[in-house]
Amino acid sequence: MIHYILAKGYKDGFRGFSISFLSVMYSITTYMKVKLMEEYDTADTHKKIVEEYQKIADQVISEYQE
């Protein structure tokens, strides 16, 4: 949101806020992906991440069905 203030995105109204918000979300997502890649320091990083997310999804679905 620093761009919203320093780059005067507030002058663009909702459009400036939206662009600033998407920029922040992109930065957070990139940071999270880097942390995951560091955590799963293997040649098969993608497979490990998919397995982890699948476990979480299965848990959420089983809790919902109860």
Give tens-digit pLDDT for 15-41.
888 888 888 899 999 998 888 778 777
Domain enclosing residue 42, as ranges: 2-65
How many folded domains does the chain comprise?
A: 1
Distance CA 21, CA 51 (A): 30
Q: Is the pLDDT of residue 61 over 70?
A: yes
Q: Which residues of 23-51 are buried (b: 16+ CB within 10 A; e: fewer)?
A: beeeeeeeeeeeeeeeeeeeeeeeebeee
Q: For residue 12, how many other CB atoms are within 10 A of its CB?
A: 14
Q: Is the pLDDT of residue 2 over 80?
A: no
Q: Is the pLDDT of residue 55 over 80?
A: yes
The stretch 55-64 carries a mean pLDDT of 90
